[in-house]
Structure 1
């Protein structure tokens, strides 16, 4: 019986495991190996790790965790998680390969999937020149004499805010075809931020991937761009939270797990951290979430043991 089973071994899950490992509690981490940021070649904005590949940061983290004798690392996919029929909180998890494990607490660090538009040229450039986070990639994209030509593909009402934000990194054009009509407030904001508006529909991204030559429009024009940002709706990457009966709330881009201040979900003993459980996401946020969840688990275990 592990004190904590962490499902998902990316930044949130590994951060949680490290914190609880240092309390000398037995911890199991189960990871399928598909972190959300695997499409990006480098991670930015991570203190002391700026510019390193995310995969290298995670590899170092796993190696450091493996040095703790109370930590077990499994590679695999959890297909089922359910509470054990006992008076005290405990869970059983089953993997696709038949392995099973029991834990007193669960941490869901299962992440989300970005739902990309079916626009030719997007998928092969995702995380390189087709992007969603200016704080992660804007510095490298922006700059240069006269600014850089950056596009924002309008998909949601939030695309107006995204375009106004990204204007700090270059000369922005917002492609509005498919968006609801822009109201006066949106038009005034875009004008103040010097964002150009292109109402003609985009048909493809052109150039030799991952580079972008420009956006091909429905009327035949090619509008030169260096990068394209888009607001990607999300979906939960794992069905486990729904399977356990956890409550979701609507985030900016889609459903995220509802948690309390210590990262416990609506189901007793089930915690959630990282992108699956927060509306605003990046590596640093995920790591902080994992730390908080581990502290919450530790406090809960102590309270349970003290109660007898």
Structure 2
């Protein structure tokens, strides 16, 4: 079967895009590896109409709704390669399958590079977070720790003062000028210079000098990059953002590869479920427009960009 669109990645952005396309009665194949970025979180917050709902339930409900459309096909699998060109792409999966499509929409999501702190990875998404709008309110204005990773940690520290009493745990990863120190102090941020030994309990930080700091929750600014190696293998140009690398796209969600579009966390920052859904819906509409008016398929120009 030759699909109008193959969506690679069936999380929130991918499903939002697919919904626009199947409602335009286009044939859509979604290929999903089942690795939602927020799969470790117990609840999703800040998404209108779904506030406090477990993220798995949101995803499952969305998939059921998509399944009501006869032009939707869903494949659980992992994409290994994409070859071809506009109107004649071939997507190959790890189980040896090959699928043809006129357009490709990348909604693969991103991978988080977590700080190398003992005990942090085990608490990611349950007691340690990256987005204050998603998880700050539930901390009840308690003590909040920022595990330093770089310049974005300073921004996090200032921002999170609206959600509780903030301590910036520098941990040798953040350079603080006197001006920055003064700004943080004016915002009421406490600065802890001692290195972190480990994280234990719920969100308790054991420092290298033996002191134990207890927090209602911790935040850290991870570095992100497109999940897997597919994006770069396809030749999509990447760009650097304060949060990490993402696919270079334009306002119409077009990438540097003709006929290939991208949406969600892999193409837009900042990241949240609601922002991914909105961006996915817009991307789906733009892909549909490209099917109606092929002359609009103009790759993003990447002069001066990072690849």
Question: Scaled by the length of structure 2, what TM-score is found?
Answer: 0.93
- For 1:263-282, list aligned pairs within 5 A: 263-282=253-272
1:223–1:305 CA distance, 2 compared to 1 (3 A): closer
CA distance in 2, matches of 1:74, 1:181: 46
2:302 — aligned with what? none
CA distance in 1, matches of 2:97, 2:158: 49
2:157 — aligned with what? 163
- For 1:228-267, list aligned pairs within 5 A: 228-267=218-257
CA distance in 1, matches of 2:89, 2:208: 54
Question: In the TM superposition, what is the alpha-carbon distance from 1:295 to its structure 2 partner?
Answer: 1.1
Question: In the TM superposition, what is the alpha-carbon distance from 1:305 to its structure 2 partner?
Answer: 9.1
- In the alignment, structure 1 residue 175 sits paired with structure 2 residue 169: yes
1:74 — aligned with what? 75
CA distance in 2, matches of 1:180, 1:4: 44
CA distance in 1, matches of 2:152, 2:121: 21
Query: Does the 8 Å CA contact 2:148/2:174 hold for their aligned counterparts?
Result: no
Query: Does the 8 Å CA contact 1:91/1:102 hold for their aligned counterparts?
Result: yes
1:37 alignment partner, SS class: coil
Query: Does the 8 Å CA contact 2:150/2:175 hold for their aligned counterparts?
Result: no
Query: Does the 8 Å CA contact 1:90/1:269 hold for their aligned counterparts?
Result: no
1:238 alignment partner, SS class: coil
Match of 1:286 among 248, 253, 276: 276
1:6 — aligned with what? 7
Gaps of 5+ in 2: 297-307
CA distance in 2, matches of 1:69, 1:89: 22
CA distance in 2, matches of 1:305, 1:20: 19
2:44 — aligned with what? 43
CA distance in 2, matches of 1:246, 1:204: 38
2:106 — aligned with what? 108
Query: Does the 8 Å CA contact 2:80/2:230 hold for their aligned counterparts?
Result: yes
1:98 — aligned with what? 96
Q: Deviations over 1:116-161 (max 9, x none)?
A: 1221111111101111111000000133xxxx11100111111111
Query: Does the 8 Å CA contact 1:89/1:268 hold for their aligned counterparts?
Result: no
1:222–1:36 CA distance, 2 compared to 1 (3 A): same
Query: RMSD of the TM alignment (CA)?
Result: 1.4
Q: Deviations over 1:83-115 (max 9, x none)?
A: 15xxx5321000111111010000000011111
CA distance in 1, matches of 2:66, 2:37: 21
Query: Does the 8 Å CA contact 1:3/1:103 hold for their aligned counterparts?
Result: yes
2:280 alignment partner, SS class: helix
- For 1:139-158, list aligned pairs within 5 A: 139-143=137-141, 148-158=142-152
Q: Deviations over 1:156-187 (max 9, x none)?
A: 11111110101111111101131243113311
Query: Does the 8 Å CA contact 2:262/2:283 hold for their aligned counterparts?
Result: yes
Query: Does the 8 Å CA contact 2:153/2:174 hold for their aligned counterparts?
Result: no
1:2 alignment partner, SS class: strand
Number of aligned residues:
295
My pick for the range that moved more, 3-12 or 284-293, is: 284-293
1:54 — aligned with what? 55
Question: In the TM superposition, what is the alpha-carbon distance from 1:291 to its structure 2 partner?
Answer: 1.1
- For 1:178-193, list aligned pairs within 5 A: 178-193=172-187
CA distance in 2, matches of 1:141, 1:180: 24
